[in-house]
Structure 1
């Protein structure tokens, strides 16, 4: 059963950081799955800078502050969270580990937070709704077929999902070269060499053959026998490059709960989104997997937060690998952060328990960091909590 996974460390030091979980995950999955997890678009400039941009900031430390307890609680979409970190929607999570989205949702509950379930999830909306104790949130692509996306919204509402996150930065797929070179293109392609590589990961191949959690379950009927390739083709066929503001207006009119738009980088877009009645935005470049050479999300965050932070929730994702990164993001105007790759590192390295361990590490790092900064609550974070690490270049 999911949740009963046990680590067998054989005397080895357990993973102590997100980077440790990354290294553990790398050895657990086939190369083509690892390429899917790690790659970005084109030369991966934005992917690399997403993470590096956090080094632009130093934390300001204040001493003798007497911080005995640290409060990490925030409220997002009307839900009180014990941790300002939400699990981001990750398509095909079951390729990393068969526990997939359901295991990730249960790990989020253990840590007092929520999962945003991907439209391209390996467990259906209904399976996650039935298999969890708390309400979670659902991610939607504004695909071509309004009957399809309307059905997904209805299913999410009926299954207890209380907020909707609409991803707007995938009118077409980004040029993900590592995926294409290793066979994880659209559609995926298998060769004898790739099958042999997967067979060298017996734990992964056992989970794959036993549980078959590598199809996009929301896009196929429960009783349909559809292959992984066919389910991915269904999704790709529904992408439409001509999505516009009218599509978002239609979604807003049809969804009566909290609505967030994911994939915003420009403050003008953020303002227009809020003018349409959206409750918040996620400042995001899709983890560097879509348009290459756009700014790192953390650099785009302050301008968006300044423009709309008084009217709507501002969240951010991309490049977060530590509790310190979360602190920096909150100080720059985010109410909370979403994590994608760290979620998958934990999932690939240890299933449900791995995801829970990643969240626990981030919580511990945040508490330690805020205590050393002399900051008792995340609500006290702001621009004066940081100093620039690099002087601007004079021209």
Structure 2
């Protein structure tokens, strides 16, 4: 890890060390990947404003989100199949986040279960919920998350139906991997990955054991098409708000009107996100929608941001445009696939260091000092 200097280095190492199906699952987007590419293009187009002769000798990257003091203004986003990037991946990522004093978010579609992660950590983590057609199962997931002392529920709004990801189909991605000549050869050339997964606690979706139809479904896309509920609406959000006793975060807001509705639900925070370019292709980049959404909701809810962050400079850009906090998904998974927990720790430290340096060179000593004037124009 000593020669790794940026997230792109971790991505390259992840690609070499992980079977193609799982790397592509993490790395690629839906359809023609227009929105995936727009996320990065529009972030990089934001020019930072260099300032000089400002006393920045006493800087702090600490911030408060959902009432909790954190060391950094970003956390680990919910990502499905993390335990297939590296064995026990969710546990390792949660431990890395705990060590850094940032939040970790466990996906409903994780390999390790809620209980697995809770048993391996000492601080509360966040749990991301997908609402199934069987509302009683969704309710049971919330009960399990509460019993595990999860401090926040992240309700994903933008996956009522799944956008097609061409590479998942072409790679024949299944969980666990289906035995074919092509993937056996691929796995044979990734011995460290294979050993880590073999040693892992689980080989399929840990939160979904006992769900009707799950035992016979290895294709994630096929299972989602039968289990996820396309009728999900704002009444369901109100139902969840009544049931869930902790902090509620609504993830997947990309429209000003939707942002106002989300703020009116009693949620504590919203995440401006397009699912990392993995859902509606042709949608605007998340960063382009952040300023009008932040302006529309004001102080009514805390505004978070994800989709496209690869550096500390990107974190500064998002905060400058109205985000209070950011979530990183692909970046930490690149680290995980590259080197397990040490790789996640490296990803966090890279972005943290870039954030600190960028603050200094833009003349900012605290996160609260980062505003629109940190950007040109």
TM over 0.5: yes
The reply to whether residue 202 of structure 1 matches residue 181 of structure 2 is no
**Counterpart check, 1:164 vs 2:148:** no
Aligned structure 1 segments of 4 or more residues deviating by more than 3 angstroms: 185-190, 225-228, 230-236
Note the residue ranges of structure 2 that are not aligned, 5 or more in a row: none
Asked if 1:134 corresponds to 2:123, the answer is: yes
User: Aligned to 2:241, what secondary structure does the other structure show?
Assistant: helix
* Counterpart position of 1:387: 376
User: Residues of 1 paired with 2:280 and 2:208: CA distance?
Assistant: 26
- The equivalent position to 2:233 in structure 1, one of 228, 244, 266, is 244
Q: Does 1:353 align with 2:336?
A: no
User: 1:33 — aligned with what?
Assistant: 22
Where does residue 249 of structure 2 map in the other structure?
260
Question: Deviation of residue 185 (structure 1)?
Answer: 6.4
Asked if structure 1 preserves the Cα contact closer than 8 Å seen for 2:161 and 2:224, the reply is no
For residues 212 and 156 of structure 1, what CA distance do their matches in structure 2 show? 19
Return the match for 1:287 from 259, 276, 279. 276
User: What does 1:113-192 correspond to in 2, within 5 Å?
Assistant: 113-184=102-173, 190-192=179-181
Q: Flag the 1:216–1:31 CA change in 2: closer, same or farther, 3 A.
A: same
| CA distance in structure 2 between the aligned counterparts of 1:188 and 1:228, rounded to whole angstroms | 12
1:74 is displaced (CA, Å) by 1.6
Shift of 1:208: 2.4
Aligned to 1:66: 55
Q: Partner residue of 1:373?
A: 362
| Structure 1 residue 127: Cα displacement | 1.2
Report the secondary structure of 1:387's partner residue: coil
Shift, 1:235, TM fit:
4.8
Q: Residues 137-188 of structure 1, C-alpha deviation per residue, up to 9 Å, x if partnerless?
A: 1100122111111001010011010111000100111110011111126997
The answer (yes or no) to whether the contact 1:92–1:122 under 8 Å persists in 2 is yes
Secondary structure of the residue that 1:135 maps to in structure 2? coil
Q: Classify 1:286/1:214 alpha carbon distance in 2 versus 1 (closer, same or farther; 3 Å).
A: farther
Tell me the secondary structure at the aligned position of residue 27 of structure 1. helix
> In 1, distance between residues paired with 2:336 and 2:176?
24
Task: Give the CA deviation at 1:206.
Answer: 1.7
- Secondary structure, in 3 states, of the residue corresponding to 2:57? coil
Q: Deviations over 1:346-377 (max 9, x none)?
A: 00001011101110111111111111111101
Return the alpha-carbon distance in structure 2 between the equivalents of residues 175 and 339 of structure 1: 22
Partners of 1:31 and 1:52 in 2: CA distance? 25
Gaps of 5+ in 1: 1-6, 8-12, 389-395
Q: Partner of 2:326: helix, strand, or coil?
A: strand
Task: Select 2:332's aligned residue among 343, 348, 362.
Answer: 343
Once the two structures are TM-superposed, the CA of residue 114 in structure 1 deviates from its matched residue by 0.9
Q: Matched residue of 2:303: which SS?
A: strand
Aligned CA RMSD, in angstroms, stands at 2.0
> Does the residue aligned with 2:154 lie in a helix, a strand or coil?
strand
Equivalent position of 2:87 in the other structure: 98
3-state SS of paired residue (2:195) = helix
Aligned to 2:203: 214
Q: How many residues align?
A: 375
Which of 319, 342, 347 aligns to 1:330? It is 319
